[in-house]
């Protein structure tokens, strides 16, 4: 049973970590901005608010929002391992490796079997270099990669060291598969979906993503953004 949220008597300047279930199509920055705006209406005029680990707009699940002195914990929280449940569509790719862009290429899937999927997942498990998506917030000479990509410029992404600790095949229903991924900071599940397609000598892209755990924080402790904001608004103005 989910624990009840009670914000009464809290001094948010002293530090508070809001464990939220990010809504679909909200950016992580949108969530931070909305909470900061609501806190300012409560009298916290200069309070710091930040998140510990970006979730794409098309992803849902655990987003840790650090408030007040808890913002000092952002780096440490970001460094902790994450866990996701992802739906991957085989046989087609998109420029962003997810549903942000339409399919640009299709590939055969008749040769794919459950055994080959399991082998592909195993081959991608462990510590290795991964190339972030072109449509990502990674900075290149001070500019976000997605801004360059949207402007039609050629973007060369620098690979980063990641660790896929564990991958489990939850559902096999071609051309769709569902996987559970336990991974390190900085892992792009969109890129992982693309890599699965390559490993299967086909194509693939992410169709849904849900972060189910961040460090020791799980969905059982998470609250809907709307519920959290309502609880904030119920507090008396300072």
CA 134 and chain centroid, separation: 16
Contact by Cβ (8 Å): 67, 33 = no
Given 6, 21, 30, 56, the catalytic residue? 56
56 carries an active-site annotation: yes
- The first and second tokens of residue 56, run together, are 């794409």
Q: Hunting for tokens 């900085």 — which residue is that?
A: 186
Contact by Cβ (8 Å): 72, 89 = no
Contacts 24+ apart (CB under 8 A), 48-53: 50/74, 52/77, 52/78, 52/214, 53/28, 53/77, 53/78, 53/82, 53/185, 53/211, 53/214
CA-atom Rg of the chain in angstroms: 19
Q: Hunting for tokens 């680990």 — which residue is that?
A: 53
* Catalytic residue ranges: 56
């Amino acid at each position: 049973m989910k624990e009840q949220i009670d914000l009464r008597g809290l001094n948010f300047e002293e530090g508070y970590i809001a464990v939220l279930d990010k809504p679909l199509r909200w950016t992580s920055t949108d969530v931070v901005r909305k909470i900061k705006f609501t806190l300012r209406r409560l009298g916290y005029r200069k309070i710091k608010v930040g998140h510990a680990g970006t979730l794409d707009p098309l992803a849902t699940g655990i987003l840790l929002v650090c408030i007040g002195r808890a913002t000092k914990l952002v780096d440490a929280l970001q460094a902790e391992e994450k866990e996701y449940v992802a739906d991957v569509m085989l046989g087609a790719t998109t420029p962003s490796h997810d549903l942000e862009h339409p399919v640009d290429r299709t590939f055969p899937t008749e040769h794919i079997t459950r055994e080959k999927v399991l082998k592909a997942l195993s081959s991608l498990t462990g510590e290795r270099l991964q190339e972030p998506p072109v449509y990502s917030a990674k900075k290149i000479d001070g500019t976000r990669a997605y801004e360059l990509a949207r402007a039609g410029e050629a973007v060369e992404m620098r690979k980063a060291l990641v660790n896929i600790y564990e991958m489990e095949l939850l559902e096999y229903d071609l051309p769709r598969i569902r996987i559970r991924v336990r991974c390190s900071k900085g892992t792009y599940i969109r890129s992982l979906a693309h890599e699965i397609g390559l490993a299967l000598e086909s194509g693939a892209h992410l169709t849904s993503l849900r972060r189910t755990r961040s460090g020791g924080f799980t969905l059982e402790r998470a609250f809907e953004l709307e519920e959290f904001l309502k609880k904030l608004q119920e507090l008396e103005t300072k």
